Amino acid sequence: QLERAAAPRGRGQASSRGAVRHRAPVLCVARLQPTMDDAAGLPDYRGMEILSPMVRGSCLPLRLCCLQYGAGLVYSGVTIDRSILECVRVENAEFGCVDYINREEGKVIYSTCAQERERLIFQLGTCDAGLATRAALHVCRDVRGIDINMGCTAPFSTSGGMGAELLEKPEVVADILKSLRRELPAETALSCKIRMLPTVAQTCDFMQLCERSGANAVAVHMRTPAEDRNKGQPAHWDAAAQLCSAVNIPVIANGDFLSRSHIAEFWERLGASTCGENAAAPAALMVARGALWNPSIFSRQEQVPFDDVVRNYIRTAARVNNIFFNTKWALREMVSQNEQKPASLNFAGLQGAALRRFRNKVDNLPNMSECCKLFGVD
């Protein structure tokens, strides 16, 4: 059997596979967010709420769940250019997926499916225009757009000159984006996700460079590479208007959207850039941890019971045959204790010692069958 890789750490990694299959309902993508501009072939970002790229987090089951609850677009976790180029594309009819499998090791490095095709942005880690173009052309038939990671601070990315290191290499960024825009199909969206530079003026200049080089949109994590969310350093929302005014392409704001109330507050406070009426506001927002903890954060209608959300994630992971290592990691995040996490996100209402005991059971789960039993999934 082929082995699935949980998330890219340079050139992919091995992990055990949960082979137990469980029946699950087919998801229907919600139509609660703005629709795509199908005539132009590019996403209409205005008013969208988007799943952020997260290493290990933004894998296929989480992306499908977020789409079901109303996400406008979903980004994959970053995949390194050489890693995807070492893969062969295989249509997995048994699970309805398209798998990109490492030729030598037989690991599935990246997986997608037709359900997300029109709303999926593939994030690429690169620092070379030639490799980036080859990698993007390799996957573009299965995605709506290509995003270049220019904000990741993890060593696997920065040690190779990728991610946040690109913020210091504008000539390399311009070369990558120009090559991609020249070679990719016109209907394939091209974007980049960056962090703020040391000053707002420098960030504006960098965003303008991305626009001139062919980017259709830019997502901004409203912190600098030196700032750490885990140390309580907040996103710089006071700079949003100036950044959005610097370019004529959609700006996607990212940082500190941990609950539905945070999202509602953002729209009320900053609004959304629509039809040129509010150019000093972001066109869309991007959610990371809030969606990992609770994929239904994208629901603009009624609140979804958290237990149902968790069980839906498990069924979706089983349906697409997600590797068990990755499924268990995501579940640990969903049932984690975090002072920034909304108090309502407690599975089965567990708190204190009872929650800690339950989390220990999650840590020790050996396979998908036992996972379903623990969470009460038929």
Which residues are annotated as catalytic? 152
Nearest to residue 286, comparing CAs of 217, 333, 232?
217
Q: How far apart are CA 193 and CA 254, in angstroms?
A: 9
Residue burial 293-305, b: 16+ Cβ < 10 Å; e: rest: bbbbbbbeeeebe
Close Cβ partners of 178 (under 8 Å, ≥ 6 residues apart): 129, 213, 214
What is the distance between the alpha carbons of residues 50 and 252, in angstroms, rounded to a whole number? Answer: 9
Q: Bridge partners of 101?
A: 88, 108
Cα 99 from chain centroid? 18
Tokens for 324, please give them: 């068990």
Does residue 98 contact residue 92 with C-beta atoms inside 8 Å? yes
CA of 64: how far to CAs of 58, 126, 171, 355, in Å? 10, 26, 36, 27
Query: Nearest Cα to 33, choosing from 267, 305, 310?
Result: 267
Q: In terms of C-beta density within 10 A (0-12 exposed, 13-18 middle, 19 or more buried), how is residue 64 classed? A: buried
Region for residue 232 given its phi and psi (left: phi exceeds 0; alpha: psi -120 to 50; beta: otherwise): left
Contact 216, 249 (CB under 8 A): yes
Among 134, 128, 88, 129, CA closest to 110: 88
| C-alpha to C-alpha distance for 324 and 241, rounded to whole angstroms | 43
Query: Any alpha helices (H) in the chain, and if so which ranges?
Result: 60-69, 81-85, 129-139, 155-158, 170-183, 200-212, 240-245, 260-270, 289-293, 306-319, 324-334, 352-363, 368-375
